[in-house]
Chain A
Amino acid sequence: MSDIADRVKKIVVEHLSVDEDKVTESASFIDDLGADSLDTVELVMAFEEEFGIEIPDDAAETIQTFGDAVKFISDAQ
């Protein structure tokens, strides 16, 4: 697993208080990991800080799963 994926996973596990093995490629933050809509905003904020990137609101809306987040951040770097 890439370094980016590891770092994203750590943020997700800490923020949503979920088991690491539940954070799979296709795991949806809201449907599978128990996030509410405000949690997803906070996750995006945390990703922005961890990776020093800007995630615009319209892009943030497309980040629904763990895999989406890793892909977006990898592309942005």
Chain B
Amino acid sequence: MFDLTGKSALITGASGGIGGAIAHALHGAGATVGLSGTREAPLAALAEELGDRAHVLPCNLSDAEAVTALPKQAAEALGSVDILVNNAGITRDNLFMRMSDEEWQSVLDVNLSATFRLCKGVLRGMMKARWGRIVNISSVVGATGNPGQGNYAAAKAGMVGMSKSLAYEVASRGITVNAVAPGFIETAMTEKLTDDQKAGILGQIPTGRMGTPAEIGAAVLYLSSPEAAYVTGTVLHVNGGMAML
């Protein structure tokens, strides 16, 4: 089950905790992976760890031209892009009343506009192949909101509406478009929280623990698989029950 042998996947934000776990999951199922991110060193380290079938494709997602060029570079390196995982994301948290235009725009650019451009860039190949999987990594806060994250929540909710619209358009071509919405996951980002903050968060999670990056990787693997052909336009919430949507 969930065999991706012969498929190629482009994963953005692969240098992060969740991105790395997604790369491991898809690569472990037999896919060739293109690891994209801003920092080249961790990408190279991940590629080395994975061994064969791993390519490093550095890209600054706040640079629109670089983003537009990435799908083509990926197709050249990987042979094709059958699976796209838009995982890269940044935060620029601030109270709404203090949020600058720059904080708003930079988060929208990287989290939402780059996702739009990458989806657009891989569609031609997927349409011709009559097969494709796009998995956009949203967030629980896109559905619930979160104080201090007006920009991030807007971008993550925007990804969901965009995914659903695109899912309608390309479903007849064998292409599915879905979102995964992680809750609190153990990453470098959540490690910075104080023990009090962690205790507060855990109190809201029925499973009583944070999720692991591998649990997000598994969700992405499912949605990327041939078995998930009948699942499109959906959001798979992986949040330990903290928001039952």
Q: Which residues of A contact B (CB under 8 A)?
A: 38, 41-42, 45
Contacts and interface: CB of A to CB of B under 8 A. Distances in A.
B170 A38 contact: yes
Nearest to B128: A45
10 contacts: A38-B127, A38-B169, A38-B170, A38-B172, A38-B173, A41-B127, A42-B127, A45-B124, A45-B127, A45-B128
B71 to A, nearest CB: 14
A38 B124 CA distance: 11
Contacts of A41: 127
Nearest to A42: B127
Contacts of A42: 127
Interface residues of B, number: 7
Interface of B: 124, 127-128, 169-170, 172-173
Contacts of A45: 124, 127-128
A45 B127 CA distance: 10
6 smallest CB-CB distances across A and B, nearest first, come from A42-B127, A45-B124, A38-B169, A45-B127, A38-B173, A38-B170
B124 to A, nearest CB: 6
Contacts of B170: 38
Nearest to B127: A42
Given A38-B173, A45-B127, 4 more contacts: A38-B170, A41-B127, A42-B127, A45-B124
Contacts of B124: 45
